[in-house]
């Protein structure tokens, strides 16, 4: 007899209803978490076409007998929880017993599994939720689950998927998080048949971090000497003073081994950096918080991404202590000079600004021009012709050379080397478009298929409530949803690729920092446009081919003020033949 129990109805309804399967990455997360729960030592994840064509997770864990292999496909069948008291003390990754049936109901699904002690295993084939074949099979001990053609029978959901690149990036990030949480497990990831990474099992988390993100990343981190405060254990790393990133993808925070992204954890990290890190930057961190399972409710989000802390203010205090304690162990890795550059992790290679060769010198944008840029207007007295025609000529005459460091596009223009910084360029383009639409009252919003309920601090919830109209203008429709949570129905269309939590946290952070009023005046619109464009430019990748590169350059040069972001960061840089000659002179 197997070990899976079917949850009684009452308990099943205590487990909030909801969908687990949003996108390929959420499928991978559920499958890998199941493998971890099954005691796997080695997990292999393969996927094709961003997971939309195929995903396969293979583990060497406990496996299941024939009856469990069938039972696990029934809703609320779980081996991990039997009565509602267990809900208060969950230590396994999964507990809702709804992942496998949900996934199997929207895909062509195959489960093959074998316990070490059994002579043969079981292969179950399910199509769109219907079990249509059960066979014996002779696979190695462990479990392999293959999910093909996700959402093949739910065209509306399929349409909701992002491009393959985005879905693939989400999958890889998801596996990275799980791999950081479990260095003792070997992970292999194959994308379209090609190896993305192969991580050996290790007892040393810093080895895992180095394998994933490189020696250099490790060098930027200061260790937190494990400590305990208010009954909460903390260990990990926080970036050295002055090290920052403009997004939070390298902020990995775990609560009881589960990856949890919450402003309750990220805001104190940011707060700790006030004065040493420029606005808009966030310290990378890898932090593990261990606390009594009853101090955190992980049953507020169907995909278990959000939690509700019983005592968020204590957790905030502890997170702040953690950052400060790390810095007791570290000397700043470089001097921070406010206003210089905007991303200390990526100092610009070249500082001389792009000067259009055939136009008047435009070495530096004047304050007035930057201000005009913020308004999305041409400078009142334009000394240089930046008309689309003139710029188009430039774009057409330049030759695309290639891309560099996943960040720059290189062009050759009249013997000069032209460098375009992709993110800054996108920011400028999106800013002008967004502001233009906003000015005519057009809101570009992407409705979520399922509203998301996020846990935020009470202060954030109150701010969101007071600024609902302003946020709505930005395309974010969010409403306070009782005690420290907000319900989000729609997000800015330009930023729709990003996780909802990130959109909300960054927009609210940024708008609040700017002192946004609740009135919808021009100043507010500019702040909105600037915030949304910065947010939206985060996720963008460097265009793959020449065509994409040219389009970006053309769109940039079609802007009113193409040479800097609304915040004044350069978008283009030029090395003239003179500059080059100087670099190579004795
Ligand atoms: P949950 O993880 O919430 O219990 P799932 O639907 O994800 O629910 O899985 C249902 C059950 O199937 C699990 O409780 C577990 O007993 C079994 N199971 C799923 N995946 C595996 C696996 N890779 N190895 C062994 N057992 C598994
Ligand atoms: Mg599970």
Question: In this predicted model, what pLDDT tens digit does every residue of 34-67 receive, in sequence order?
Answer: 999 999 999 999 999 999 999 999 999 999 999 9
Q: With a 6 A CB cut-off, is 59 part of the ligand 1 pocket?
A: yes
The pLDDT of 321-328, averaged and rounded, is: 83
Hey, which of 133-137, 485-489, 561-565, 578-582 has the most confident mean pLDDT? 133-137
Q: Determine how many CB atoms are found less than 10 A away from the CB of residue 429.
A: 22
Task: Give the predicted TM-score (pTM) of the model.
Answer: 0.58
Q: With a 6 A CB cut-off, is 245 part of the ligand 1 pocket?
A: no
Best substitution site from 30, 43, 69, 72 to test ligand 1's pocket, by max atoms within 8 Å of Cβ? 72
pLDDT higher than 90, residue 189: yes
**Ligand nearest, relative to CA of residue 68:** 1
Of 543 and 306, more confident: 543
Specify whether the CB–CB gap between 22 and 450 falls below 8 A.
Answer: yes
HSE (CB half, 13 Å, CA atoms) of 370?
12
Cα 410 to Cα 424: distance, rounded to the nearest angstrom? 14
**Ligand nearest, relative to CA of residue 100:** 1
Q: With a 6 A CB cut-off, is 29 part of the ligand 1 pocket?
A: no
Within 8 A by CB and 6+ apart from 306, the residues are 260, 262, 300, 453, 454, 455, 501
* H-run or E-run covering 215: helix 205-219
The torsion of the CA quartet 497, 500, 504, 507, rounded to 10 degrees, works out to: 0
Ligand 1 centroid, distance to 208 Cα (angstroms): 26
The pLDDT of 403-408, averaged and rounded, is: 88
Instruction: State the pLDDT confidence band at 238, using cuts at 50, 70 and 90.
Output: very high
Protein residue closest via CA to atom 2 of ligand 1 = 94
Ligand 2 centroid, distance to 403 Cα (angstroms): 41
| Closest atom of ligand 1 relative to the 102 alpha carbon | 6
The pLDDT of 103-121, averaged and rounded, is: 93
């Amino acid at each position: 007899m197997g070990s899976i129990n079917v949850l009684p109805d009452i308990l099943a309804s205590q487990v909030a209803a909801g969908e687990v399967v949003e996108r390929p990455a959420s499928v991978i997360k559920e499958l890998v978490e199941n493998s971890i729960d099954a005691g796997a030592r080695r997990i292999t994840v393969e996927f094709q076409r961003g997971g939309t064509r195929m995903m396969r997770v293979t583990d060497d864990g406990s496996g299941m007998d024939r009856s469990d292999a069938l039972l696990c496909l029934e809703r609320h069948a779980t081996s991990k929880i039997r009565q509602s008291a267990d809900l208060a003390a969950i230590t396994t990754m999964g507990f809702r017993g709804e992942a496998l049936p949900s996934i199997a109901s929207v895909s062509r699904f195959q489960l093959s599994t074998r316990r070490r002690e059994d002579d043969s295993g079981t292969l179950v084939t399910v199509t769109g939720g219907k079990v249509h074949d059960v066979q014996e099979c002779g696979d190695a001990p462990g479990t392999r689950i293959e999910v093909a053609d996700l959402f093949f029978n739910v065209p509306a959901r399929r349409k909701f998927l992002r491009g393959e690149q985005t879905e693939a990036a989400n999958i890889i990030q998801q596996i990275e998080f799980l791999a950081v949480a479990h260095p003792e497990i070997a992970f292999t990831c194959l994308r379209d048949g090609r190896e993305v990474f192969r991580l050996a099992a290790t007892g040393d988390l810093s080895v895992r971090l180095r394998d994933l993100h490189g020696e250099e990343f490790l060098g930027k981190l200061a260790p937190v000497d494990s400590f305990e405060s208010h009954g909460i254990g903390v260990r990990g790393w926080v970036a050295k003073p002055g090290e920052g990133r403009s997004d939070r993808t390298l902020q990995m925070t775990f609560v009881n081994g589960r990856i949890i992204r919450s402003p309750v954890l990220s805001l104190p990290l940011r707060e700790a950096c006030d004065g040493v890190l420029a606005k808009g930057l966030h310290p990378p961190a890898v932090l593990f918080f261990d606390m009594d399972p009853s101090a955190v409710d992980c049953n507020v989000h169907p995909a278990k991404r959000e939690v509700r802390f019983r005592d968020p203010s204590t957790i905030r205090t502890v997170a702040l202590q953690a950052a400060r304690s790390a810095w007791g162990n570290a000397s700043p890795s470089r001097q921070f000079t406010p206003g210089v550059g905007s991303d200390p992790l990526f100092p610009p290679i070249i500082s001389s600004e792009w000067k259009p060769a055939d136009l008047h010198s435009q070495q530096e944008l004047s304050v007035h021009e930057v201000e005009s840029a913020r308004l999305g207007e041409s400078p009142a007295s334009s000394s240089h012709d930046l008309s689309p025609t003139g710029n188009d000529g430039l774009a057409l005459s330049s030759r695309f050379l290639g891309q560099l460091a996943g960040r720059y596009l290189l062009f050759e223009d009249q013997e000069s080397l032209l460098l375009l910084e992709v993110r800054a360029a996108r920011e400028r383009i999106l800013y002008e478009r967004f502001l233009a639409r906003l000015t005519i009252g057009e809101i570009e919003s992407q409705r979520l298929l399922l509203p998301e309920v996020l846990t935020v601090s009470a202060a954030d919830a109150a701010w969101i409530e007071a600024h609902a109209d302003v946020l709505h203008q930005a395309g974010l429709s969010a409403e306070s949803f009782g005690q420290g949570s907000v319900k989000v129905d729609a997000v800015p269309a330009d930023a729709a690729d990003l996780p909802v939590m990130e959109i909300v946290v960054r927009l609210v952070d940024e708008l609040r920092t700017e002192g946004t009023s609740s009135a919808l005046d021009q100043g507010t619109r500019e702040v909105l446009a600037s915030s949304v464009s910065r947010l939206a430019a985060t996720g963008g990748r460097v265009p793959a081919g020449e065509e994409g590169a040219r389009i970006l350059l053309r769109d940039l040069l079609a802007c009113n003020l193409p040479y800097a972001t609304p915040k004044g960061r350069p978008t283009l840089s030029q090395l003239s033949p003179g500059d080059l000659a100087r670099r190579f002179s004795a």
